[in-house]
Amino acid sequence: MPKYKAIEPIKIENRQWPDSQINSSPRWCAVDLRDGNQALPNPLTLDQKKEYYQLLLDIGFKEIEVGFPSASKDDFDFCRWLIDENRIPDDVMISVLAPSRPDLITKTMEALKGYPKALVHIYVATSDLHREHVLGKTREETIKIVHASIATIKECAANQPETRFYLEFSPEEFTDTDLDFAIEVCDDVVEQWDPQEGETVILNLPATVERRPPTHYADMIEVFMKKLKTKQAVISLHAHNDMGCAVASTEMALQAGAHRVEGTLFGHGERSGNVDMVTLILNLQYMGVDTGIDFSNLVEINETISRLTQMRPHPRHPYVGDLVFSAFSGSHQDAIHKCLVRKDEMMEHFGQWKIPYLHVDPADVGRNFEKFIRINSQSGKGGIAHMIELEHQIKLPREFQVTLAKAVQAYAEDVSREITSDELTNVFRENFMEAKSPIELVKYWPYPDEKKPSDIHGKVELLYNGEARTLEADEDGPIAAFVAACRQLDIPSFELVKYEEDSLGHGAKSEAVTFVTIKCSEKVFYGIGTHSNIDQAAVKAVVAALNNMLNNG
């Protein structure tokens, strides 16, 4: 007998959900303080719960499950603090979880005394696996347990008339439950609660243990909603992530018509966790859905949750991981670089955000472009050029990019790791700007020739192999005069083959940057110079190129 085998599919005729689109937001319920908290190696302290709760409010959650008051004093005390200190906004509904046991339900109701409205969430195991082999109950006994639980809630509610109580019910292990039995139990729950006109009961249908592919969850939701007799129900989803498909399962189940989602930030929860609300909500926002949740400050949210839970998301975790908006691959870096510099143009062309390898604008979640391209031995010229432009505002010509990329890759291979921005800067300067030997420029004066005003007389003071030299030459421009003067040194013959100018920054205080290419014996060498004076920037670039030639020719 095989240890594992395929799960029987759900029998469904005229399946509708695959053709549906998610055009509006479901209701969101954050269960971080209950389901998420019970799964932490070090559960939250009372003060940590207070901070976490406020964060959930700030993000925009309007439904928050605040704890399991009958299970721990901390949860009971936290619930009382919320009520006694008037910490629950009028537009927020808190809920509390209780097992289907009269004594524990009574304790739970005590935690809610004095509050105007509250949602009581009860659950009972309905799967054959759990019901028979863990609890030892028949289906009939399970339904009696539900009846007794609802009766207890109603009895306590009658003694707490200041509070309007609402009901949420979960058939535990819904996705492992006979679907017709789950529907029978849920219809019975709504009938027993007997909601007022306009009131609804939340029927929360959990994938308590993820044993089915996402398509099965959606099929079950579609069949459940078609067969359910009551119309006074909100269909809620609560997916776990044992197979790594909780987000996909929830999205498909929303396509099938579900109205509400329970989950946790970053998916904290038992085993592989709950559905990750950050990923799910941002996925819907990417599809144009207004979710009502604000993750624009996701970096700070991440830092807070990581500190409170002592668990940091994986570096590749969608949206929030340290590396999810980073590119090491040279081809990826080149594509990102080319399109980021034209992002407004790209937006206009496509009518929406479209940048290679970045499916959302990282700025929408508080991330910075500087982090996107990381440099190692796999990096290409585009990514390296992008970092130089970010760090130094220098737009490198293509041939400079190629040369720098080779130098950076060689350095990265030598150190066998990702290199820092400071190391990248050092490689850049050493290759193009800062070689001070054998030629070191001291001064250069270009001025009109007295005998021929159309020409420039250039006077150069420099050190060559440590020896002071003064050189002079006349040409039709300041750069040509400087090059002619340098040819008087005892160095190989060279030709200035390319000269480009740009500026760093804007306004009166901006600096000039010059790119120079020289050729010697069929080899080319490069130099870059910056200065507030364009002529001085150019001669610094020529000296840098000459030193490259003399050191590497």
Both tokens assigned to 35: 């389901």
Both tokens assigned to 367: 């991330």
Distance between CA atoms of 414 and 376, rounded to whole angstroms?
Answer: 10
Encode pLDDT of 475-498 as tens digits: 999 999 999 999 999 999 999 999
CA distances to 34, 154, 391, 508 from 265, in Å: 12, 33, 34, 49
Q: What CATH class is the domain 17-309?
A: alpha beta
Distance between CA atoms of 353 and 344, rounded to whole angstroms?
Answer: 9
Encode pLDDT of 82-94 as tens digits: 999 999 999 999 9
Distance between CA atoms of 124 and 114, rounded to whole angstroms?
Answer: 27
- Checking if the pLDDT of 291 tops 60, the result is yes
More confident residue, 326 or 445: 445
* Percent of the chain predicted with pLDDT > 70: 98
- Checking if the pLDDT of 371 tops 60, the result is no
Distance between CA atoms of 206 and 269, rounded to whole angstroms?
Answer: 13
Distance between CA atoms of 107 and 277, rounded to whole angstroms?
Answer: 30
Distance between CA atoms of 407 and 481, rounded to whole angstroms?
Answer: 32
Contact, 81 vs 66, CB < 8 A? no
- Checking if the pLDDT of 370 tops 60, the result is no
Check whether the bond before 438 is cis (ω within 30° of 0): yes
Encode pLDDT of 268-283 as tens digits: 999 999 999 999 999 9
Contact, 190 vs 220, CB < 8 A? no
Mean pLDDT of the region 510-523: 91
pLDDT band at 372 (very low <50, low <70, confident <90, very high): low
| Model pLDDT, residue 517 | 95
pLDDT band at 336 (very low <50, low <70, confident <90, very high): confident
pLDDT band at 552 (very low <50, low <70, confident <90, very high): confident
Contact, 463 vs 452, CB < 8 A? no
Mean pLDDT of the region 455-466: 93
Contact, 532 vs 430, CB < 8 A? no
Encode pLDDT of 106-150 as tens digits: 999 999 999 999 999 999 999 999 899 988 999 999 999 999 999
Q: In what order do the strands lie in the sheet with 511-520?
A: 495-504, 511-520, 523-531
Contact, 211 vs 180, CB < 8 A? no
- Checking if the pLDDT of 508 tops 60, the result is no
Query: Residue 315: what are its φ and ψ, rounded to 5°?
Result: -55, -25
Average of per-residue pLDDT values in the chain: 92
- Checking if the pLDDT of 27 tops 70, the result is yes
Q: In what order do the strands lie in the sheet with 439-448?
A: 439-448, 456-464, 467-475
- Checking if the pLDDT of 212 tops 60, the result is yes
- Checking if the pLDDT of 24 tops 90, the result is yes
- Checking if the pLDDT of 65 tops 70, the result is yes
| Model pLDDT, residue 430 | 86
Both tokens assigned to 255: 């396509």
Distance between CA atoms of 259 and 385, rounded to whole angstroms?
Answer: 48
Domain range annotation of the chain: 17-309, 330-418, 439-552
Largest CA distance in the chain: 115
Angle between helices 277-286 and 246-255 (to 10 degrees): 50
Mean pLDDT of the region 295-322: 95
More confident residue, 63 or 400: 63
Distance between CA atoms of 125 and 142, rounded to whole angstroms?
Answer: 8
Mean pLDDT of the region 464-479: 94
| Model pLDDT, residue 328 | 76
Distance between CA atoms of 329 and 374, rounded to whole angstroms?
Answer: 9
| Model pLDDT, residue 140 | 95
Both tokens assigned to 509: 């205080």
* Percent of the chain predicted with pLDDT > 90: 75
Contact, 137 vs 182, CB < 8 A? no
How many CA atoms lie less than 13 Å away from 344 in the CB half-sphere?
A: 0
Contact, 401 vs 359, CB < 8 A? no
User: Where in 2-71 does DSSP place strands (E)?
Assistant: 27-30, 63-67
pTM of the model: 0.77
Tokens 């050493």 belong to 430
Contact, 25 vs 292, CB < 8 A? yes
Distance between CA atoms of 188 and 184, rounded to whole angstroms?
Answer: 6
| Model pLDDT, residue 246 | 98
CATH number for the domain whose boundaries are 439-552: 3.30.160.270
Closest CA to 504 of 528, 477, 527, 480: 528
How many CA atoms lie less than 13 Å away from 36 in the CB half-sphere?
A: 30
Encode pLDDT of 341-369 as tens digits: 888 999 999 999 999 989 999 999 998 65
Report, in this order, helix, strand and coil percent for the chain, each rounded to 5: 45, 20, 35
